[in-house]
Structure 1
Amino acid sequence: MRVTKVVKRDGRVVEFDSFRIRRAIEMAMREVGKFDEAILDKVVKYVLDVIDSTFSDERPPHVEEIQDIVELALMKYDLFEVAKAYIVYRKEREKIRKEKMAILGKDYVDDVDKRLSLNAVRLLASRYLQKGPDGRFLEDPKGLFIRIASLVVIPDILYDPLIFDKEGEQEVHPTEYFNPEEWAGKVGLGGGDPENHLAPPFVWNAHHLERMKALYDELNSQGKMRVSWSQFFDMLRDGRFDHHYKDFLEYYRLMVDLKFIPNSPTLFNAGTMLGQLSACFVLPIEDSLESIMRSATEAAMIFKSGGGVGINYSKLRPQGDIVRSTGGQASGPVSFMRIIDVITDVVKQGGRRRGANMGILEIWHPDIMKFIEAKAKPGNLENFNLSVMITEDFWKYYEEGKDYPLINPRNGEVWGSIDPREAFRKIAEMAWRTGDPGVLFADNINRRNILREHLGEIKSTNPCGEEPLYPYESCNLGSMNLYAYIRRENGLVTFDWDEYSRDIRKALRFLDNIIDVNKFPIPEIEKTTKRTRKVGLGLMGLADTLFALRIPYNSEEGFNFMRRAAEYLTYFAMLESVERAKERGSFPLFPESGYVRGEMPVEGFYHPEIWNLDWDYLREQIMRNGIRNAEVTTIAPTGSISMIAEVSSGIEPQFALVFEKRVTVGSFFYVDAEFERQLKENGLYSEKILRDIAENGGSLYGIEAPEGKEDVIERMKRIFLVAYDIPWWDHIRAEAEISRWICAAVSKTINMPNWVSVSDIEKAYLFAHRLGLKGITVYRDGSKSAQVLITPTQRRGEYASFIENETLKMMESLGIELPQLRKAKVEEKTQAQPVFKPPAQPNHVETCPECGSTRLIHKEDCVTCLDCGWSACVVT
Structure 2
Amino acid sequence: MVVEKVMKRDGRIVPFDESRIRWAIQRAMWEVGVRDDELLDRIVKDVINRINELYDGEVPHIENIQDIVELELMRNGLFEVAKAYILYRKKKAEIREEKRKILNKEKLDEIDKRFSINALRVLTSRYLIRNEEGKVIESPKELFERVATLAAIPDLLYDERVFSKEGGYTQDLKKVEYYLQNFEEFAGVYSIGRFRLNKYHFERMISLYKELAEKGKMKVSIDEFLGMLEHGEFEKYEEVVEEYFNLMVNQVFMPNTPALINSGRPLGMLSACFVVPIEDDMESIMKAAHDVAIIQKMGGGTGINFSKLRPEGDLVGTTTGAASGPVSFMHLIDAVSDVIKQGGVRRGANMGILEVWHPDIEKFIHAKEQNVGTNVLSNFNISVGLWRDFWEALKEGKKYPLINPRTGKKVKEIDPKSLFEELAYMAWAKADPGVVFFDVINKRNVLEPAKGEKIRATNPCGEEPLYDYESCNLASINLAKFVKYDDEGKPYFDWDEYAKVIMKVAKYLDNAIDVNKFPLPEIDYYTKLTRRIGVGMMGLADALFKLGIPYNSKEGYDFMRKATEYLTFYAYRYSVEAAKQRGPFPLYKLSKYPEGELPIEGYYHKEIWNLPWDDLVEEIKEYGVRNAMVTTCPPTGSVSMIADTSSGIEPIFALVYKKSVTVGEFYYVDPVFEAELKKRGLYTDELLQRISDNYGSVQGLEEIPEDMQRIFVTAMDIHWLDHLLAQASIQLWLTDSASKTINMPNDATVEDVKAAYLLAHALGCKGVTVYRDGSLSVQVYSVEGEKKKRAPVKPSEYAKRILKEIVESESWLKKFVNVEAIIDGTNGKGMPTFSLSNHKGTLNPTKSGVDERKIKELLGIAYCPVCYEHGGEVVELRMESGCATCPKCGWSKCVIS
TM-score (norm 1): 0.95
How far apart, in 1, do the equivalents of 2:502 and 2:733 lie? 14
Quick one: which amino acid aligns to residue 407 of structure 2? N
Counterpart in the other structure of 1:194: none
Name which of structure 1's ranges 801-810 and 477-486 shifts more when overlaid on structure 2.
801-810
User: Structure 1: how far apart are the matches of 2:74 and 2:783?
Assistant: 45
1:587 matched residue in structure 2: 585
Q: Is the 8 A contact 1:798 1:823 kept in 2?
A: no
Provide the rounded CA distance (Å) in 2 between the counterparts of 1:854 and 1:319. 39
Residues 794 and 825 in structure 2, CA contact (< 8 A), matched pair in contact too: no
Q: 1:573 to 1:180 in 2, by over 3 A?
A: same
Letter in 1 for 2:564: A
What residue in structure 1 maps to residue 191 of structure 2? 188
Instruction: Answer yes or no: is the 8 Å Cα contact 1:756–1:820 preserved in 2.
Output: no
CA drift of 1:352 comes to 4.4
Aligned length: 853
Partners of 2:638 and 2:891 within 8 A in 1: yes
Secondary structure, aligned partner of 2:174 = coil
Would the alpha carbon gap of residues 445 and 841 (structure 1) be closer, same or farther in structure 2, given more than 3 Å must change? farther
Q: Structure 1's 628 and 422: CA in aligned 2 closer, same or farther, altered over 3 A?
A: same
Map 1:713-862 → 2, pairs under 5 A: 713-784=705-776, 785-786=778-779, 788-789=781-782, 795-796=788-789, 799-800=792-793, 803-805=796-798, 806-813=801-808, 814-815=810-811, 816-818=817-819, 819-821=821-823, 829=830, 834-838=831-835, 840-842=837-839, 846-852=862-868, 853-862=874-883
Letter in 2 for 1:738: I
Q: Are the equivalent residues in 2 in contact too, given 1:662–1:867 (CA < 8 A)?
A: no
| Map of 1:267 onto structure 2 | 260
* Segments ≥4 residues shifted beyond 4 Å: 794-798, 821-826
Q: Which of 435, 446, 463 is the aligned partner of 1:450?
A: 446
Q: Is the 8 A contact 1:189 1:244 kept in 2?
A: yes
Query: How much does 1:823 deviate?
Result: 6.3
1:282 and 2:303 aligned: no
- Provide the rounded CA distance (Å) in 2 between the counterparts of 1:568 and 1:32: 41
Q: How does 1:31-46 map to 2 (within 5 A)?
A: 31-46=31-46
Moved more, 804-813 or 399-408: 804-813
Q: Residue deviations 1:535-570, cap 9 Å, x none?
A: 111111111111111111111000000101111111
Alignment partner of 1:617 out of 612, 615, 619: 615
Alignment-mate amino acid for residue 772 of structure 2: R
Question: What amino acid is the match of 1:699?
Answer: S
Uncovered stretches (5+) of structure 2, i.e. residues with no partner: 812-816, 844-857, 869-873
Q: CA deviation at 1:528?
A: 0.2
Q: Which residue of 2 aligns with 1:313?
A: 306
Instruction: Mark the CA change 1:135 to 1:358 in structure 2 (over 3 Å): closer, same or farther.
Output: same
Partner-residue secondary structure (3-state), 1:469: coil
Q: Is the 8 A contact 2:400 2:414 kept in 1?
A: yes
Q: How far has the Cα of 1:349 moved from its partner?
A: 2.0
Contact 2:173 2:210 in 1 (8 A): no
Distance in 1 of aligned mates of 2:658 and 2:624: 51
- 3-state DSSP of counterpart to 2:475: strand
Moved more, 246-255 or 349-358: 349-358
Equivalent residue letter for 1:92: K
Tell me how far apart the structure 2 counterparts of residues 385 and 841 of structure 1 sit (CA, whole Å).
Answer: 25
Per-residue CA shift, 1:794-841, capped at 9, x if unaligned? 955652465431333334334443153566599x74xxxx34234644
Structure 2: which amino acid aligns with 1:850? V
Instruction: Tell me the residue number matched to 2:478.
Output: 481
Report the Cα distance in structure 2 between the residues aligned to 1:854 and 1:239, rounded to whole angstroms.
51
856-865 or 761-770, which deviates more: 856-865
In structure 2, how many angstroms separate the alpha carbons of the residues matched to 1:797 and 1:685?
24
* 1:401 to 1:839, Cα distance in 2 relative to 1, 3 A: farther
Could you say what secondary structure the match of 2:725 adopts? helix
Question: Does residue 388 of structure 2 align to residue 392 of structure 1?
Answer: yes
Q: Distance in 1 between matches of 2:669 and 2:472?
A: 33
Letter matched to residue 192 of structure 2: L
- The whole-number CA distance in structure 2 between the counterparts of 1:689 and 1:808 is 37
Amino acid in the other structure paired with 2:866:
E
- Which one is further off, 623-632 or 178-187? 178-187
Partner of 2:19: 19
Contact persistence 2:794–2:823 (CA under 8 A): no
Whole-angstrom CA distance in 2 between matches of 1:796 and 1:131: 45
Return the alpha-carbon distance in structure 1 between the equivalents of residues 2 and 219 of structure 2. 54
Counterpart in the other structure of 1:466: 463
In 2: Cα distance, 1:640 partner to 1:768 partner: 28
- Which of 407, 410, 414 is the matching residue for 2:406? 410
Change (3 A) 1:802 1:487: same
Aligned match for 2:436, one of 417, 440, 460: 440
Post-superposition offset of 1:344: 0.7
Decide whether the 8 Å contact of 1:781 with 1:787 is kept in 2. Answer: no
Q: Is 1:89 equivalent to 2:84 in the alignment?
A: no
- Counterpart of 1:389, as a letter, is G
The one-letter code matched in structure 2 to 1:365 is H
Q: What do the CA deviations read for 1:73-98 (whole angstroms, capped 9, x no partner)? A: 22233333322222111111110001
Read off the aligned partner of 1:22 and give its amino acid letter: R
- The answer to whether the 8 Å contact 1:663/1:867 transfers is no
Q: How far did 1:351 drift?
A: 5.8
Give the C-alpha shift of residue 181 in structure 1.
2.1
Distance in 2 between residues matched to 1:686 and 1:593, nearest whole Å? 59
SS state at 2:698 partner: coil
CA contact (8 A) 2:749 2:827 kept: no
Cα distance in structure 2, aligned partners of 1:107 and 1:510: 34
Q: Render the CA deviation track for 1:154-196: whole Å, top value 9, x for unaligned.
A: 0011111111111112123333111322221232122xxxxxx
Structure 1 residue 102: deviation in Å? 1.1
1:96 touches 1:118 (CA, 8 Å); kept in 2? yes
Per the TM alignment, residue 400 of structure 1 is displaced from its structure 2 partner at its CA by 1.4
Residues in 1 aligned to 2:647 and 2:299: alpha-carbon distance in whole angstroms:
21
1:476, CA displacement in angstroms? 0.8
Task: Please name the residue that 1:364 is paired with.
Answer: 357
> SS at 1:348's partner residue?
helix
CA shift digits 1:326-375 (9 cap, x unpaired): 11100000000011101111112256422200000000000000000000
Q: 1:351 and 1:233, CA in 2 relative to 1: closer, same or farther beyond 3 A?
A: farther
Q: Unaligned stretches of 5+ in structure 1? A: 191-200, 706-711
After superposition, residues 73-88 of structure 1 pair within 5 angstroms as: 73-88=72-87
Distance 1:867 1:388 in 2: 32
Asked whether the equivalents of residues 164 and 226 of structure 1 are also in contact (C-alpha less than 8 Å), the reply is yes
2:679 counterpart residue number = 681
1:196-275 matches, within 5 Å, as 201-275=194-268
Q: Is the 8 A contact 1:727 1:799 kept in 2?
A: no
Instruction: Identify the range of structure 1 (322-331 vs 446-455) with the bigger mean alpha-carbon deviation.
Output: 446-455
Paired residue type of 2:611: L
- 2:814 is matched with none
1:168 aligns with 167
Corresponding position of 2:598: 600
Q: Counterpart amino acid of 1:767?
A: L
Distance 1:755 1:30 in 2: 41
Matching residue within 418, 421, 429 for 1:425:
421
Match in the other structure for 2:851: none
Counterpart AA for 2:37: E
Aligned to 1:295: 288
Q: Out of 82-91 and 742-751, give the one that drifted further.
A: 82-91
Conservation of the 8 A alpha-carbon contact between 1:32 and 1:682: no
CA distance in 2, matches of 1:270, 1:12: 29
Partner deviation per Cα, 1:733-763 (whole Å, 9 max, x = no partner): 0000000000100100000001111011101
**Secondary structure in 2 matching 1:217:** helix
Q: Is the contact made by 1:596 and 1:623 (CA closer than 8 Å) also made in structure 2? A: yes
Instruction: Give, as a single letter, the amino acid of the residue that structure 2 aligns with 1:494.
Output: Y
User: Partners of 1:325 and 1:524 in 2: how far apart?
Assistant: 29
Deviations 1:301-348 (A, max 9, x none): 110111100000000000000101011100000000011101111112
